[in-house]
Amino acid sequence: MTLSAHLKSRWLIFGLFAISLALLPFLIDASMGRSWVRLLDLALLYVMLALGLNIVVGYAGLLDLGYVAFYALGAYVYAWLASPHFGLHLPFWAILPLGAALAGLFGVLLGAPTLRLRGDYLAIVTLGFGEIIRIFMNNLNAPFNLTNGPQGINLIDPVQLGGASLSQPLSVFGYTFSGVHLTYYFFLLLVLAVIFISMRLENSRIGRAWVAIREDEIAAAATGINTRNLKLLAFAMGATFGGLAGGLFASFQGFISPESFNLMESIMILCMIVLGGMGHIPGVIFGALLLTLLPEALRYTGEWQRNLFGQIYIDPADLRMLLFGIALVAVMLYRPAGLIPSARRRQEFADAKA
């Protein structure tokens, strides 16, 4: 194949991919219903979160179990500045960067004292930090009502884009786009930006330094890498993405409460990364999509039961988490490097087995 033909075919694949991404919500809307488009929006948010955590865990190798705290920070910043809670209604383009920046700052604040800790100690400290943030959000309704406690904050403004609200249907050339469709495109754009940043980071001087730190911190320091600053940077970048996703989550749901930000959420995001393939962008995206959509799909076990046995023995809502747990264990047993591991990790596994 000549070079120009090769380029042409690459553009063709790229174009087909772009068109299918653009048409996806309509296909799903037509085949599976509106609620699945909404779920798709949520899945995009999780892709963003997982890619953010991937920087901390996958690239730099810092096991962070309190990642959801940054997600929560971003969400609460958005809720404070764009809801009747304080009577503020700032536009999203002012709040989202602010929430992301604040989350990044907290990432550095958490990272600075914990830099000396190794693996599991770091995990438990970040976990404690996540719990602290959640407990404060649960209780800061007195003496001054900052978070409205367990009831959470309601009526958060949706994102307003050029006069159109992402929660309202919009008519363009006689065709009506529903709110969830608009949200899909908005989120998709941001996810693509995050993917782009992640890819550029991975192959940059910084990304290679992170990998060096992950593999052997002492050797990395010996080759002149400033491990302190780079670890802080990893924390900050991961937290920034988390804060961004948090703000989007608040605007998307219109309601947030501390319940959405418990430890299980952090663990879920970590599972997405490890299950998909740590440090590998396609793997992480796949893991995030899978773990968001799988529990919903498992709701259909009720129908299977009826078809198989003629009646429902176990409430599918109760059964699905059990099946989810079994799936987690099974995948790890049979593909411990993740479903789509990076070439480097696959190699490491082959070496370890030999």
Partner 1 sequence: MDIFLQQLINGLVLGSVYALVALGYTMVYGILELINFAHGEITMMGAMVSLAVIGALALAAPGLPGGVILLAGLAVAIPVCMALGMLIERVAYRPLRNAPRLAPLITAIGVSIILQNIAMLIWGKQYIPFPPILPQGHHEILGATISDTQIAILALAVLIMAALILVVQKSRLGRAMRATAQSRQVASLMGVDVNRVIASTFIIGSALAAIAGVMVSAYYGLAHYYMGFLLGLKAFSAAVLGGIGNLGGAMLGGLLLGLIESFGAGYIGDLTGGFLGSHYQDVFAFFVLIAVLVFRPSGLLGARVVERA
**Residues at the site binding partner 1, with contacts judged by CB under 8 A:** 57, 63, 113-114, 116-121, 123-125, 127-129, 131-132, 135-136, 138-139, 143, 216-219, 263, 267, 270-271, 274-275, 278, 314, 318-319, 321-322, 324-329, 332-333, 336-337, 348-349, 352-353
Interacting residues of 321 by C-beta distance below 8 A, sequence separation 6+: 295
Least distance between partner 1 and beta carbon 201 (Å): 21
Q: Which of 131, 296 has the CB closer to partner 1?
A: 131
Secondary structure (3-state) at 256: strand
> Distance between CA 314 and CA 78 in Å, rounded?
40
CA-to-CA separations, 333 to 252, 273, 321, in angstroms, rounded: 36, 16, 18
Helix axes 92-114, 68-81, angle to 10 degrees: 150
Q: Which of 125, 197 has the CB closer to partner 1?
A: 125
Q: Which of 115, 197 has the CB closer to partner 1?
A: 115
Q: Which of 172, 333 has the CB closer to partner 1?
A: 333
Task: Round to the nearest angstrom and report the end-to-end CA distance of the chain.
Answer: 38
> Distance between CA 215 and CA 301 in Å, rounded?
42
Least distance between partner 1 and beta carbon 46 (Å): 17
Which strand (E) or helix (H) includes residue 124?
helix 119-139
Q: Which of 21, 112 has the CB closer to partner 1?
A: 112
> Distance between CA 139 and CA 152 in Å, rounded?
11
Least distance between partner 1 and beta carbon 108 (Å): 15
**Which of 187, 200, 263 lies closest to 59 in space, CA to CA?**
200
Q: Which of 172, 218 has the CB closer to partner 1?
A: 218
Least distance between partner 1 and beta carbon 60 (Å): 14
Least distance between partner 1 and beta carbon 327 (Å): 8
- Provide φ and ψ at 338, rounded to 5°: 105, 170
Q: How many beta carbons lie within 10 A of that of residue 120, not counting itself?
A: 10
Sign of CA dihedral 245, 252, 165, 38: positive
Least distance between partner 1 and beta carbon 227 (Å): 12
Q: Are 289 and 271 in contact (CB under 8 A)?
A: no
Least distance between partner 1 and beta carbon 33 (Å): 27
Least distance between partner 1 and beta carbon 292 (Å): 16
- Provide φ and ψ at 315, rounded to 5°: -55, 120
Q: Are 31 and 251 in contact (CB under 8 A)?
A: no
Q: Which of 143, 310 has the CB closer to partner 1?
A: 143
Q: Which of 3, 354 has the CB closer to partner 1?
A: 354
Residue 185, both tokens: 């495109």
Q: Which of 117, 170 has the CB closer to partner 1?
A: 117
Least distance between partner 1 and beta carbon 165 (Å): 38
How remote is the C-alpha of 253 from its chain's centroid?
A: 15
**How many residues make up the chain in this entry?**
354
